Structure 1
């Protein structure tokens, strides 16, 4: 039996509430961590330094830490919006996408960042989600997601300048490899279409 219109509406509402709660919780966690770091300085060491094998442990935590409140504030709104849009398609898929972005982005930074640098920030995830949303609809052949991707491109298209090495104070490596991770995740976790059966 196919779900009724009422059931579909309830399902969409539930997904939206779950996605919103997840992203608001994530943002709250980032601000709590930054407040803790500002008060104690204890978390700075979890930023990622390149080409040191012991630093590979920081590939995951680097995306949850920031170099100051201004840095965090610049990532908060795009992460909230792009994360919410991505999470609407399902939390498990979303978490797999984010993990892929963090791993690809973090390893890219570890391999290519300048010596003695310390990279941290959710911008790896922001750029990854941007890339993911941009291509997801085309990969899944879903008209609604294509429209969402086009809208995301129109609003946040200027982010693409961030993957260019124009500012040595900004980790363009994290931006670039985060973007690559997001596009890769769109293909890795694309929706599988059920075969059409004919009689």
Structure 2
């Protein structure tokens, strides 16, 4: 398996989420610094003018508490997205904003819906369900971590708190689930060790021949066992990708 098919940490894993989050904070700073209020650029359901909020609404926040509570989960989840699902990360973010925003526009109350929480619910839902569907232990572990950290967010998809866009949260949750089902792009696979390869025979492993049946190390392998060892070619070949 080629190197780029394995889990690979790179600067983009941190840089892209950080730049995305920085842009959101710059919009908020601009509002505070120059006395603007961009709330009317949010999603206003069932109106033609309110459609612009599908694109602009995620970058607008009402106050410092609102943007602070969205920043940490957005950064953590987007980092996980770029680390484990880099080939489709931007698709999930861009189409996640558009689709969850359209759902919110379709079912929302007549009010301005702002903030990145809809995208956060897309990432929570996608990360959890895609990890379960993939059946890779690392991604399943990531899904369980998401549930542990953000599992209580499920309650905010219901109208339990005044002034909270539960419609946006529910739209993000549904969108993430749909993406987990229908995004068929290849997911990076964890590297397999020798004992995980197809056709591996433990009895032919030269390393294991140095141990007896009780697990004790054998410094000098008996000749009859040593003769059974297959020849190993240590010639290095240039890796062309």
Using structure 1 for the length normalisation, give the TM-score: 0.85
Q: Residue 197 of structure 1 aligns with which residue?
A: none
Deviations 1:118-145 (A, max 9, x none): 1100000111100011111222232211
Q: After TM superposition, give the deviation of residue 54 of structure 1 in Å.
A: 2.5
In the alignment, which residue of structure 1 is the partner of 2:112?
A: 118
Give the structure 2 partner of residue 87 of structure 1. 82
> Which consecutive aligned stretches of 4+ in structure 1 deviate over 3 angstroms post-superposition?
190-193
Residue matched to 1:3 = 2
Partner of 1:145: 139
Residue 178 of structure 1, aligned match among 151, 172, 183: 172
1:78 aligned residue: 73
Structure holding more helix per residue: 1
Aligned to 1:18: 12
Alignment of 1:150-161 (within 5 A): 150-161=144-155
Is the contact between residue 9 and residue 83 of structure 2 (CA under 8 Å) also seen in structure 1?
Answer: no
Larger Rg: 2
- Root-mean-square deviation (CA, aligned residues, Å) is 2.0
Question: Is 1:58 aligned to 2:53, yes or no?
Answer: yes
- Please report how far the alpha carbon of residue 95 of structure 1 lies from its aligned counterpart in structure 2 after TM superposition: 1.1
Per-residue deviation at 1:188? 2.1
| CA distance in structure 2 between the partners assigned to 1:107 and 1:123 by the alignment | 14
Q: Give the Cα separation in 2 of the matches to 1:65 and 1:92.
A: 28
**C-alpha displacement at 1:49, in angstroms?**
0.8
CA distance in 2, matches of 1:74, 1:114: 23
Q: Note the C-alpha offset of 1:180.
A: 0.8
Unpaired runs of at least 5, structure 1:
194-199
Query: Whole-Å Cα distance in 1 between the matches of residues 29 and 157 of structure 2?
Result: 28
Provide the rounded CA distance (Å) in 1 between the counterparts of 2:103 and 2:49: 16
DSSP-derived class of the 1:114 partner: coil
On the 8 A contact 1:104/1:180 being kept in 2, the answer is no
Give the secondary structure class of the aligned counterpart of 1:18: helix
- 1:106 alignment partner in structure 2: 101
| Structure ranking higher on relative contact order (CA contacts 8 Å, 6+ apart) | 1
Residues 49 and 55, structure 1, Cα contact 8 Å, conserved in 2: yes
